[in-house]
Chain A
């Protein structure tokens, strides 16, 4: 793929100059939590014509993850797919159609063999040889396996691609599975979520594009920077949980006050994701718990689409520490006995003082200095 080199001349007819471009790169690096030198590295890579090639495959899904990615602003999608990566094949976004599209896919794979990023969106039906999802006459099993064969990095975006998601919900008529099951033996970075937070995807993609490395992953292939903790651990309503203030019914006083949604079936205590710290749509508070809905557990296999929405989960890891003091502890007020004791002591002291004063003022034969008063 031939790219114009970057110098002080405008990159394209719309007028993006070097300065703006460096800004975009810095913004992208910062937004996804890469170190500051990453911005410079991205600029260098792009200047040298090494924009990472991305091939994006859709399977059984709703395209929600793509929709979510379309709504990013740091960087915006056009900056992302034009300036930072080379989105060579994406069934929703590309202009090409039909045979032309399939040719582009083949060309991209040939050209960047071993270096391109494969993004898998959607679950892969395994039942009946995968006949339930076909593109260009080929099954998902076939396509994904082929493209994954020569990919540099494989990212499964969304819960469907990560572990099956909705398509795999009982009774799972198509035998849908996540990409890691199909591509067993390969490293698949999973970014579960319904939809997944686009910045978690961008963080992984830009790190790979810039440094050629992947972030630290947990046993399920999830980047630890985003899925290392339970939502409950950083929930803005956590204080209400610890203090025992729960919403009992939607619309009740506690709900209006923003209390803990645990009793309404919130899955935060068993769901690993960073939703509680990185909200959606670039709007503060735009995430389920933020708008008063209990967490659904969408990122966690065996929780989302499996446990009933209003069913409460058992809390195993994140019970409130028993050593925390309660926010308000009440003590007994003046107790009759204590009051009596204190009153007795004060009264005794006053009485004793008066008696002592009398005794002190009694004359004594020892006294010789009184005349000097």
Chain B
């Protein structure tokens, strides 16, 4: 992990910046809100009904949040499956984003569950598992993958702890476990690639089980495929956004060459998605739905456009100036938005449980909890990159270490 353009080093600098304070304030309010939610239950605080039992928390925190956290998966695929070592400088921040994202997804599930206090039973009572359940697979994979991601992150923490002479026990622990962890790492990385492949597609299968409650344009056996492919695009997109932004903010080498090399892979992923999507709709005789000009056809075209546009932008001839970086950033933003829209549409906009149900719209409470969770994630990210060796490149002279 130490090859590439530089050795990862902690960013350093003051922790309590204004942004950090804002994030902590939002997260703090959310903690209070969550205490209230666990006291009174889901009914009084959310706009969910029996018709729309999955609201913003599932659609965003879990289904979209874990897909946004697929950066680690996408980069690991490139590095370890396609053996492209040059992407190594990206892996630590990508895995960190993934670990934080999945942890938040898991917290999101627990917040959304009606009886969260039984969650601990799931991985233990294996003899009662319903092996035909997609939800079981998703739950187990997400639990396991979250654990795997944090173990993958462990060397980062241990590197730091090894140097802390004033904490001998931590140092001892790190020295003892680092070699063992390094031996186990290939297996963990393999697990870290298999698990998201399983459950990211299963997130598509899960809403597919709603059957005709889903609008025909989204009710397709290819939905798991679309979820899987779009999660790779979202993962890449997030890696670009996060790498570029954090390195711009912390005045680091921005890895533009590595990132734009990634963009070629992205073009393939995006065009595959768009091609299969259009082919599937036409081949299954649903093309009439495309030109209804109702909100579903508009959502469909918006989705296709958002997947297609970044592919076109990335195929433009490079200007070899700083503008390329802006382009790549924009394209990545679109990619992420496209995947988010696809998930939101499948789980929310295109889902109609029946005429008797009001259209679901999240309550202020739900929106605030989601915002607070994101704020918590940002705060944790900022803290970890400042304290632990995540980002590569020279430490900036402008900032005190």
Contact = CB atoms under 8 A, between A and B. Distances in A.
A360 B244 contact: yes
A366 interface: yes
Given A341-B364, A362-B322, A331 B251 contact: no
Contact of B50 (A325, A342, A363, A367): A325
Which of A328, A357, A364, A371 counts the most chain B CB atoms within 10 A? A357
A238 to B, nearest CB: 19
A337 B50 CA distance: 24
A283 interface: no
Interface string A347-358: 000000110111
A331 B47 contact: yes
Nearest to A363: B322
Interface stretch (B8-16, B210-218, B297-305, B325-333): B325-333
B289 to A, nearest CB: 25
B254 interface: yes
Interface residues of B, number: 46
A35 interface: no
B124 to A, nearest CB: 28
B253 interface: yes
B255 interface: yes
A369 B394 CA distance: 14
Interface stretch (B104-112, B264-272, B353-361): B353-361
A345 B368 CA distance: 11
A332 B47 CA distance: 7
B361 A339 contact: yes
Interface residues of A, number: 34
Contact of A373 (B324, B361, B367, B394): B324
A330 interface: yes
Contacts of A356: 241, 245, 248, 329
Contacts of A369: 5, 253-258
Interface in B1-54: 5, 47-51
A328 B251 contact: no
A359 B244 CA distance: 10
Interface in B286-336: 318, 320-327, 329-330, 333
Contacts of A331: 47-49, 358, 360
B362 interface: yes
Main secondary structure of the interface of B (DSSP, over half): loop
Nearest to A325: B50
Nearest to A362: B322
Contacts of A361: 322-327, 329
B119 interface: no
Contacts of B241: 356
Nearest to A329: B49
A219 interface: no
Nearest to B260: A373
Interface string B333-377: 100000000000000000000001111111110011001000000
A357 B361 CA distance: 31
B333 A328 contact: no
A334 interface: yes
A371 B320 contact: yes
B302 to A, nearest CB: 13
Given A333-B361, A363-B322, A364-B251, A357 B329 contact: yes
A366 B356 contact: no
A338 B251 contact: no
Contacts of B326: 357-358, 360-361
Contacts, number: 108
Given A356-B245, A356-B329, A373-B320, A342 B49 contact: no
Which of A341, A345, A364 counts the most chain B CB atoms within 10 A? A364
Given A345-B371, A357-B329, A366 B358 contact: no
Interface in B223-254: 241, 244-245, 248, 251-254
Interface string A306-347: 000000000000000000010011111111011101100100
Nearest to B251: A366
B356 A335 contact: no
A367 B254 contact: yes
Nearest to B248: A360
A361 B244 CA distance: 10
A37 interface: no
Contacts of A373: 256-257, 260, 318, 320, 324
Contacts of B51: 328
Interface string B63-104: 000000000000000000000000000000000000000000
Nearest to A359: B248
B332 to A, nearest CB: 9
Interface string A24-38: 000000000000000
Nearest to A372: B257
A356 B321 CA distance: 17
A368 B257 CA distance: 10
A371 to B, nearest CB: 7
Contact of A330 (B5, B48, B49, B320): B49
A370 interface: yes
Contact of B362 (A338, A364, A368): A338
Contacts of A367: 253-254, 256
Contact of A333 (B245, B255, B359, B393): B359
A160 to B, nearest CB: 48
B358 A333 contact: yes
Contacts of B50: 325, 328-329
28 contacts: A328-B357, A329-B49, A329-B50, A331-B360, A334-B359, A334-B361, A338-B364, A341-B364, A353-B333, A356-B241, A356-B248, A356-B329, A357-B326, A357-B330, A360-B254, A361-B322, A361-B324, A361-B325, A361-B329, A366-B396, A367-B256, A369-B254, A369-B255, A369-B256, A372-B257, A373-B256, A373-B320, A373-B324
Interface of B: 5, 47-51, 241, 244-245, 248, 251-258, 260, 318, 320-327, 329-330, 333, 356-364, 367-368, 371, 393-394, 396
The 3 closest A-B pairs by CB, nearest first: A361-B326, A372-B257, A334-B361
